[in-house]
Amino acid sequence: MSDPASFSELVKRVREGDPDAAAELVRRYEPAIRRAVRVRLHGGRLAALFDSMDVCQSVLGSFFLRAAAGQYALDTPTDLLKLLTAMARNKLAFQVRRQRAQKRDVGRDVPAERAAEVAGDDPTPSRLVADRDLIAELSRRLTPEEWRLVELRNQGHDWNSIAGQLSGNPEALRKKHARALDRVARELGLEDG
């Protein structure tokens, strides 16, 4: 997807909650997210505790929530790839810190039995429904003013433009937007910190 127009269209459709766009994004970027996690787990005892798919699903859940809220400015596929792999590294690092903080002996921990991995890279229908439900839940948990910020960001407005429309300070509105997303992500259990 080297065409900037097609990438911009994909991001726009993801923000609008289009399940086909979400499926396309997952198909294209899930392998890179999982690879970023596996590289950090390779050969260590932590590989027995963490699965790349679990971290990947957490990253995608956070991404879709925040993308639907217009939080990310993504101009190229490289921007998106860097964002998703950085999110994966951060989520994995948080889990490792949590393991150590709880003074767990990773040498003695045995991973729980896992269900068989789903074949293929395509998201399941249940995953697509869950993503749509996540976006709907986001809209229910935000105040009308917070939702208006989300809508304006999804329409491609920058913070100066939004501040002009809402008669506010661009930085204050950006912070309000970020805090609202952080709050909803915590409420939904999507953030690890």
**Domain range spanning residue 111?**
4-187
Would 50 be classed as within a structural domain?
yes
Percent over 70 (pLDDT), the chain: 75
Residue 193 inside a domain? The answer is no
Higher pLDDT, residue 5 or 29: 29
Residue 177 located in a structural domain: yes
Kindly state whether residue 150 falls inside one of the protein's structural domains: yes
Whether 167 maps to a domain, the answer reads: yes
CB atoms within 10 A of CB 150: 21
The string of pLDDT tens digits covering residues 109-163 is 444 333 333 334 455 565 666 667 777 777 788 888 888 888 888 777 888 999 9
Place of tokens 């293929």: 120
161-182 burial, b for 16+ CB within 10 Å, e for fewer? Answer: ebbeeeeeeeeebbebbeebbe
Residue 192 lies in a domain: no
Q: What total number of domains does the chain contain?
A: 1
Residue with tokens 């809220």: 69
| pTM beyond 0.85 | no
- Here the tokens at position 7 are 């990438």
